[in-house]
């Protein structure tokens, strides 16, 4: 892993990095911490690792809780090279959207997100390995998945199912839930906070509720607010969820 | 209004009162407060004003936020006289439950809860009038409805629709939602926190989601957790909801 840039503002250090083909970014407290909890964040479909909403959540997690936050570009997103499959899927999605063919849009979207997850899960695990080698994190730092919605969960759910190091996770709706994602959810037992925008334009509410039902976790909370796919107001969120869970596994909050 | 008993423990003063036929209880901080926010709590069907879960929530509201909490027995419940209608409805519900006639149970339950709400709403308003005359509360203390589920919401929703003094409300599922309750929800615009037990045995989840959708409030949050009608674990609840809302209307928390 190679850190390529470093900038600092308002108590948060931002460092971009590469690991092989993977492009990522880390936010951490300016004052050095020891064995800080590590929180992974994923961006939505078509977006990238420094999408404003993600950056804002990451900075809050650093300044409020002393977390170290890591985000990576999903395959074919942000600074990553697009493969022929990426270009094809993007074209197909555009075409289905233009034609108003919602069924085709849903099926292409599910297939593409499943494929992105297959590529992204081993990438995330390699990134985790690399970060655990850093002395300020270490092999036993508590690790959480900090969201987000849509592609961030289409990748995050299979990741949390595959990765026993993830001790708690925040997921959300806003995407077409494939059989592969449902199957992964049934293998997840760690505490879950799940965010559902109620006025989502494209995705049927029932399919997202079925995903929430599928998690095997005993400790899972669904939080639903009015709001569309791109414009949600997360009032009433239990902001202490991750810090409570990751503290239980050994860390202490700021 | 006549206070009939007074007891004090762990910083909370409990005083029972009567107002005409109405039997109620007030919990308040031991150290006197001025213009404390007033929070109304309702109990579930077949229960009473001092049900353990309600008492625990009331005591927490007093000690954490300095609220004054008031609960009254619903008509035909607790220390109240049962009318012929109450006895008839209880008999019908028992009979339908024994016969496993879920449709009849639902229809009797909706009709009876609507009738209880018709009687309870003017009672609550009279209790509010009486409490606003107390110097420690006063005419401009912020007022919230603090739950609960089931009958507490079958009465609370029509109450909040009829009563402009209620500035924020916590409601929940666990009951058969009648047309009258839906109609009342459409007239409510204050901030709402709504609790939904996901493993409710009797009541269809869809009808409760339809109730949540019906609230005209822009600021409304649905919180769902695993749990049955009688056994819910409210992890991940936004406990500061009421104090935030009632503080915005002028009060200051402890």
Q: Where is A231: in which H helix or E strand?
A: none
- Mutation for testing the A interface, residue in B204, B226, B241 having most A CBs under 10 Å: B226
Q: Residue B214 pLDDT more than 70?
A: yes
Angle at A156 between CA B218 and CA A214, to 5 degrees: 75
- Could you report the per-residue pLDDT of A176-203, keeping only the tens digit for each? 999 999 999 999 999 999 999 888 777 8
Of A22, A34, A24, nearest to A14 by C-alpha is: A24
Q: Does B189 touch chain A (CB under 8 A)?
A: no
CA count, 13 A, side-chain hemisphere, A238: 28
Q: Does B221 touch chain A (CB under 8 A)?
A: yes
Q: Does A226 touch chain B (CB under 8 A)?
A: yes
Q: Residue B21 pLDDT more than 80?
A: yes
Instruction: Report pLDDT for B140.
Output: 87
Chain A residues whose beta carbon lies within 8 Å of the beta carbon of residue B198: 213, 222
pTM: 0.85
Chains A, B: CB contacts under 8 A, how many? 52
- The architecture (CATH level 2) of B2-248 comes to 3-Layer(aba) Sandwich (3.40)
Chain A residues whose beta carbon lies within 8 Å of the beta carbon of residue B218: 226
Q: Give A122 or A205, the one with higher predicted confidence.
A: A122
Q: Residue B87 pLDDT more than 80?
A: yes
Would you say the ipTM is above 0.90? no
Please say whether the beta carbons of A156 and A42 come within 8 A: yes
Q: What are the residue boundaries of the structural domains of chain A, listed by start?
A: 2-248
Ranking A232-241, B100-109, B149-158 by mean pLDDT, the lowest is A232-241
Give B 99-118 residues with CB within 8 A of chain A.
none
Q: Residue B33 pLDDT more than 80?
A: no
- Could you report the per-residue pLDDT of A98-134, keeping only the tens digit for each? 999 999 999 999 999 999 999 999 999 999 999 999 9
For residue B27, what are its two tokens? 């919990």
């Amino acid at each position: 892993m190679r850190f390529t840039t470093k900038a600092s503002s308002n108590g948060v250090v931002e460092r971009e990095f590469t690991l092989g083909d993977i492009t990522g970014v880390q936010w951490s407290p300016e004052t050095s911490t020891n064995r800080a909890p590590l929180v992974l964040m994923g961006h939505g479909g078509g977006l990238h690792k420094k999408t404003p909403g993600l950056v804002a959540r990451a900075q809050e997690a650093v300044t409020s809780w002393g977390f170290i936050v890591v985000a990576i570009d999903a395959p074919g997103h942000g600074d990553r090279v697009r493969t022929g499959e990426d270009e094809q899927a993007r074209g197909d999605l555009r075409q289905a959207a233009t034609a108003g063919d919602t069924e085709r849009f849903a099926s292409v979207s599910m297939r593409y997100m499943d494929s992105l997850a297959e590529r992204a899960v081993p990438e995330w695990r390699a990134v985790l390995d690399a970060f655990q080698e850093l002395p300020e994190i270490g092999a036993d730092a508590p690790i959480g998945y900090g969201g987000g919605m849509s592609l961030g969960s289409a990748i995050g759910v299979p990741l949390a199912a595959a990765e026993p190091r993830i001790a708690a996770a925040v997921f959300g709706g806003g995407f077409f839930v494939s059989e592969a994602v449902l199957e992964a959810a049934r293998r997840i037992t760690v505490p879950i906070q799940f965010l559902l925008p109620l006025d989502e334009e494209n995705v049927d509410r029932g399919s997202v509720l079925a995903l929430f039902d599928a998690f095997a976790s005993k400790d899972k909370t669904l939080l639903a607010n009015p709001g569309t796919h791109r414009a949600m107001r997360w009032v009433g969120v239990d902001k202490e969820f991750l810090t409570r869970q990751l503290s239980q596994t050994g860390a202490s909050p700021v």
